[in-house]
Structure 1
């Protein structure tokens, strides 16, 4: 880290209470779950269906298949990363790759080209074109039944996808959901709160580090 960046970080720690709280939550998350994307689940069985929503290059899907022998559907709209996933698992039957995002409707996405932070909500710099498909139609097309676990890291797309799942009643198909909410503006706090209230009708929050990661379980599943 450059001296300028270090000074900027220290200044934020000294002057911004929200930033200090976020850093404290992040350190607590790291102590409990490690550095990477959460992948520890109790009760998963071989052959169950898992969704990797925001697949990036397939590392989480690889971990889940190796650890639990589940079948993973990856959804990744960025054409470069989707191609990498497809090639990586070309000879595998336990990872099914889909080169599109899922959301409330069919649409074209203009994505920032920023590795695992690529987003349709940040379009500075180079961009790539991807697609989002209506989640209801996708679930019907893929004949998806109960989802044993799902990871959702879609750089702001959660504010579209989660309400769509809730409104369609599809959220009840998710036994376990690990989601990262993103804050691009102060309005995202309210949007997250509204989604959490709706999600609490069917699920209970097992653990939560705001705007880092949180995990929800279907109420019928228990703890």
Structure 2
């Protein structure tokens, strides 16, 4: 997050009751799960495959592979972050870094250069260029079938990627989805609702803190 964005956030917390109310889900999440991306998954087993979509610097993948002995595919379109992870995990066969984003189709992303808040939906300040590859061919090329956990934090890209994953039927092969929806405008409320309706066909929501983090688990045969 940029210094300017951080100062704006602090000012809003101090002066705006409505902003403080909007931050309530984040405070509740921190109280229940701490201040970092959750890594507690009761069903994950050694050798399972997880997808770290929006890897940033790779901390989540590092914790998951250390804790559970899983194989993590990390997707990160920001060139600097992807290169840093490639160096960080050099020689670690359990972390596979892919220097691109995945979405509904191939393309190019102009990303705001704001550390872990870098986004194709923000055009403030300096930018970098990243690559996006269509989800279907990536899944086929990597031989991905059953996935234990998908962790997704892609600064608005979830509104493009998740419908593609749902419509293709791939979500039926995902045991747990943990996603951070982002709210850049009023339409994002309805977009999130539509995606959640699609997810509910194959998964149940285990917990949710709107526009912070939420977790979905694949339905068992008894639930379908």
TM-score calculated relative to the size of structure 1: 0.93
Cα distance in 1 between the residues matched to 2:91 and 2:200 = 39
* Residues 209 and 83 (structure 1), Cα distance of their counterparts in 2 relative to 1, 3 Å cut: same
The number of residue pairs the alignment matches comes to 219
Q: How does 1:86-97 map to 2 (within 5 A)?
A: 86-97=86-97
1:50-84 alpha-carbon deviations (Å, 9 max, x no partner): 00000001011001011111000000000000001
Cα distance in 1 between the residues matched to 2:128 and 2:222 = 41
Cα distance in 2 between the residues matched to 1:127 and 1:202 = 37
Report if aligned partners of 1:175, 1:221 keep a CA contact under 8 Å in 2.
no
Unpaired stretches in structure 2, ≥5 consecutive residues? none
What is the aligned partner in structure 2 of residue 60 from structure 1?
Answer: 60
What is the aligned partner in structure 2 of residue 215 from structure 1?
Answer: 215
What is the aligned partner in structure 1 of residue 151 from structure 2?
Answer: 151
Unpaired stretches in structure 1, ≥5 consecutive residues? none
Note the C-alpha offset of 1:9.
Answer: 2.0
2:23 aligned counterpart, secondary structure: helix
Matched, 1:10 2:43: no
Greater mean alpha carbon deviation, residues 213-222 or residues 84-93? 213-222
Note the C-alpha offset of 1:38.
Answer: 1.3
Cα distance in 2 between the residues matched to 1:162 and 1:92 = 29
What is the aligned partner in structure 1 of residue 47 from structure 2?
Answer: 47
Note the C-alpha offset of 1:221.
Answer: 7.9
1:138-197 alpha-carbon deviations (Å, 9 max, x no partner): 000000010001110000000000000011111111100000000000000000000001
What is the aligned partner in structure 2 of residue 161 from structure 1?
Answer: 161
* Residues 97 and 21 (structure 1), Cα distance of their counterparts in 2 relative to 1, 3 Å cut: same
